Structure 1
Amino acid sequence: MNFSITRLEDWQQVVDKILPQLQHPILLLKGNLGAGKTTFTQFLLKNLGSTDEVNSPTYSIVNEYTSPKGKIFHFDLYRLKDLDEVYDIGIEEYIDNAYLCIIEWPEVYEEELYGMKFHTMNIINSETAREISFE
């Protein structure tokens, strides 16, 4: 699926199309700084029935949210330098106990996911829009 959005409100249309396709417990969010990864997460969690305030986990590395479907963990792996640091935060336990894990900046951990089922969303900023792909 591909989308092109130009306004903040357009994220809702993206979530409306993606939510029925969300079949795996892991969602990787890729994009440069300010691309809209956390903004997308805010819209997604609201549509999953969470009433929690969604913030970027840049400094905490992981935020936990509740939803009627179960726990949702939102990771930001940007500051982690290597795979050992990812395992030190207990990522496997989070994944095993979550309805959904949303992982921003997943590159340091991505190879470990091969063989598992997950979705990937890429967000690219252009001068006039955000180009989004979802697999």
Structure 2
Amino acid sequence: MKFSITTLEEWKDVVAQIIPEIKHPILLLKGNLGAGKTTFSQVLLKELGSQDEVSSPTYSIVNEYDTPKGKVFHFDLYRLKSVDEAYDFGIEEYLDNCFLSIIEWPEIYMDELEAYDFHEMTITNTESSREIDFK
């Protein structure tokens, strides 16, 4: 699925179309700094029924949210220096025990994700819009 948006309000339309397509428990978010990964996650969690305050997990590495469908873990792996750091905080335990894991900056963990089914979303900023590709 491909989308092009020019306003923050349009994230809600994108999320409304993506939610029915989520068939796997992992969603990888790729894009440059400021692309909208956390904004997308905030809208997604709200639409999934979470009442929690959603913030970037940049410093905590993982945030946990409750939804009517189950736990959602939101990761930001940007600061990890090696895959060993992901194992150290128990990433596998999180991935195996939730409704959905949203992973920003998943590149350092990509080889390990081969054992999982996942969706991938790429957000690209252009001069006038954000281009979104969801698979």
TM-score bin (small chain) = over 0.9
Report the equivalent of 1:47. 47
Secondary structure of residue in 2 paired with 1:9: helix
User: TM-score, length-normalised on structure 2?
Assistant: 0.99
Q: Shift of residue 96 of structure 1?
A: 1.0
Aligned length: 135
2:62 and 2:115 mapped to 1: Cα distance?
Answer: 23
Measure the CA separation in 1 of the matches of 2:124 and 2:81.
23
Aligned to 2:102: 102
TM-score calculated relative to the size of structure 1:
0.99
| Ranges in structure 2 where 5+ consecutive residues have no aligned partner | none
State the alpha-carbon separation in 2 of the partners of residues 14 and 86 from structure 1.
30
Q: For each residue in 1:75-110, what CA deviation from the matched residue of structure 2 results, as whole angstroms up to 9, or x when unmatched?
A: 000000111011111000001111100000000001
Give the deviation of 1:111 after TM superposition: 1.3
Unaligned 5+ residue runs, structure 1? Answer: none
The DSSP-based 3-state class of the residue aligned with 1:51 is coil
Q: Secondary structure at the match of 2:46?
A: helix
Separation (CA, whole Å) in 2 of partners of 1:116 and 1:79: 22
Q: Which residue of 1 aligns with 2:65?
A: 65
Moved over 4 A (4+): none
Write out per-residue CA displacement over residues 41-93 of structure 1, whole angstroms, 9 at most, x where no aligned residue. Answer: 01100110101000000000000000011110000000001110111110000
Q: Which amino acid aligns with 1:12?
A: K
Residue matched to 1:25: 25
The 1-side partners of 2:42 and 2:89 are apart by 23
The equivalent of 1:35 in structure 2 is 35
SS of structure 1 residue aligned to 2:115: coil
Q: Distance in 2 between matches of 1:95 and 1:115?
A: 11
Write the mapping of 1:61-100 to structure 2, written as runs, cut at 5 A: 61-100=61-100
Aligned mates of 2:27, 2:119 — CA distance in 1 = 5
Q: Shift of the alpha carbon at 1:29?
A: 0.2
* Deviation at residue 115 of structure 1 after TM alignment: 3.4
- Tell me the distance in 2 between the aligned counterparts of 1:31 and 1:89: 24
